[in-house]
Structure 1
Amino acid sequence: MTKRGFTHLISLETFNDPSNGYLVEDTCYFGAEVFVSKNHGEGECLSMTKGPVSCSHTWKIEKFSLLCEKQYSKEFSVADFPWKILLYPRGDSKEKDRSLSFISGPCLRVKDQIRDIHWDHQAKRWFDKTGYSWGWAEFMPLSSLKDKSKGFLVNDLCIVEAHIQFIGVVNNLS
């Protein structure tokens, strides 16, 4: 739309010139602040970080076979924001005694401690403080988790990794 925004930001010649640093190894990163107006005086502002902030967190769960109820990982920080992983070791209400269930996780992996063939799922979505109510009810069948030849439980230890890429923050303007 030419009514809002820029019709011409920089010339293509300037953009393509490697000495200017806009295009490096055929890669360019763009950032934007987007203002969404819901009503007069209300809205949201998306502030992007200068570059993605990536973080990995490893959760070592000992005495896994003794767990019955939901478990939370210790809190960890990504870009100064607190995170926790919620695990249902015997499955949530939909998958009780059939699957390992995770709630509130971005990219999660259960590590294969023997063969290095991990079990993982990746979510591509935005998270907010209320985003704890979604996840994977059927993350992994308990039969696979307990199969000793697969190496997901070794000496009653289960290792879970979370990989998070943080790109920005949405703030209310009201």
Structure 2
Amino acid sequence: MGATVKEEVKPYISKWSKATMDQSGEYLRIMRERIPATYMVKIESLASLKEAIAATNCNEKDHVELNHFKSGNYKWALCLYPEGNKKDDGKDHISLYLKLVKPPGNKVIATMFNFFIYDQLRDNYLMIQGLKEKRFHAAKTEWGVSRVISLDDFEDASNGFLKDDSCVFGVEIVYAYVNVQPQVAVVHTTTTSTTHLKSYSFKWEIPKFSKLKLPSQYSPEFNINGRSWKLKIYPNGELSSRSIGLYLYLNSTSSTKGNKLLVEAELRMKNQAKLSQGKDHKHTLGQWFVAGGSGRGYTNFIGLDNLEDFKWKDKIIIEVNVKEIAFVQM
């Protein structure tokens, strides 16, 4: 009697035993034994669920928002597309999405999460692991994967995901922390070149200039294109230098507070001694101004030893011309 040859039983090796990267590079697929930590839902009859979805009165008859659950003090929902989210290139796939229910005001919930499908034959899970942080807020309440698994693989009995029309899905929120929604800046720019921008001017006459004793002197506030400005001069030199310092400031008002303004400005000291042939002394700057912030200008605007041509009866005249280029509204 011949020996009996025992057939070798090969162990089952899942196609997901080795980690595989999603085409987007945002998710990793791999089998895991540990149960999802946050939420699981068992669907007793997937066919009946599909019929119920199709019979609803809502316009989108392709998915179901499963029971709400809480994590990190926020309410969430797992959304299932049993035949794929076709609007997100998920045709012929299972699609899963995580939804933030009732976003909290202007806050942003930064989250990492994983999706799961239970293998009922081997008691482990296909995990779709998120690799990039997702930001949930009022304008974006859902993030997910349109191609979690193909319907062919999902319905293949040997994979264990669908057994007797029953299946189990899960989600695990790894972390969720709150960021306050950042302010949104709106930049209003001109539609013409700077050479054609309208220039706005202010003239500041300073009598008895040599008698000024304070280290610095502010001009009266003046209005240019609906915004409040002022000049600041260091008549006896700034920082122990032998040069006059001259600066332009954007005042903080109800219309400019917290905003930024890009301008092209010309600071000019008038030549009064030789008005017919003499030249004014000027410097041009292109700078961003913050309302209520530091001034923009020059520490060495003009040397103290070069003032004689610019004074008349101990009076000097400062002019500023401003062209607005861009306004950033926070």
TM-score category, normalised to shorter length: 0.5 to 0.7
Aligned partner of residue 290 in structure 2, secondary structure: coil
- The CA deviation string for residues 108-151 of structure 1, in whole angstroms up to 9 with x for no partner, is 11110132311110001222214434421111000001x3xxx2
What is the CA distance between 1:92 and its match in structure 2? 1.6
* C-alpha distance in structure 2 between counterparts of 1:165 and 1:59, whole Å: 18
Is 2:237 the counterpart of 1:78?
Answer: no
* C-alpha distance in structure 2 between counterparts of 1:168 and 1:135, whole Å: 19
Q: Is the 8 A contact 1:88 1:101 kept in 2?
A: yes
Is 2:320 the counterpart of 1:162?
Answer: yes
* C-alpha distance in structure 1 between counterparts of 2:198 and 2:326, whole Å: 9
Q: Is the 8 A contact 1:53 1:79 kept in 2?
A: no
Is 2:259 the counterpart of 1:100?
Answer: no
- The CA deviation string for residues 69-122 of structure 1, in whole angstroms up to 9 with x for no partner, is 211111111111000000010112252xx1111122631111101323111100
Please tell me whether Structure 1 or Structure 2 has the larger radius of gyration of its CA atoms: 2
Aligned partner of residue 323 in structure 2, secondary structure: strand
Aligned partner of residue 125 in structure 1, secondary structure: strand
Letter matched to residue 185 of structure 2: E
Structure number with greater CO (CA < 8 Å, separation at least 6) is 1
Residue 185 of structure 2 corresponds to which residue in structure 1?
44
Q: CA RMSD in A?
A: 2.0
Count of matched residue positions in the alignment of Structure 1 and Structure 2:
128
Letter matched to residue 186 of structure 2: C
Residue 16 of structure 1 corresponds to which residue in structure 2?
none
TM-score (structure 2 length as normaliser): 0.36
What is the CA distance between 1:57 and its match in structure 2? 0.7
Deviates more, 1:98-107 or 1:110-119: 98-107
Structural mapping, 1:104-123, within 5 Å: 104=248, 106-115=265-274, 116-123=278-285
Letter matched to residue 243 of structure 2: S
Letter matched to residue 208 of structure 2: K
Q: Is the 8 A contact 2:273 2:311 kept in 1?
A: no
Letter matched to residue 60 of structure 1: E
Is 2:168 the counterpart of 1:59?
Answer: no
Q: Is the 8 A contact 2:287 2:296 kept in 1?
A: no
Q: Is the 8 A contact 1:53 1:167 kept in 2?
A: no
Q: Is the 8 A contact 1:103 1:135 kept in 2?
A: yes
* C-alpha distance in structure 2 between counterparts of 1:81 and 1:74, whole Å: 14
Distance 1:75 1:133, change over 3 A: closer
TM-score (structure 1 length as normaliser): 0.66
* C-alpha distance in structure 1 between counterparts of 2:280 and 2:295, whole Å: 25
In terms of fraction of residues, the more strand-rich structure is 2
Q: Is the 8 A contact 2:289 2:295 kept in 1?
A: no
* C-alpha distance in structure 2 between counterparts of 1:58 and 1:64, whole Å: 15
- The CA deviation string for residues 19-51 of structure 1, in whole angstroms up to 9 with x for no partner, is xxxxxxxxxxxxxxxxxxxx9543311112566
Unpaired stretches in structure 2, ≥5 consecutive residues: 1-179, 250-264
Identity %: 30
* C-alpha distance in structure 2 between counterparts of 1:137 and 1:65, whole Å: 19
Aligned partner of 1:87 among 233, 254, 258: 233
Letter matched to residue 205 of structure 2: K
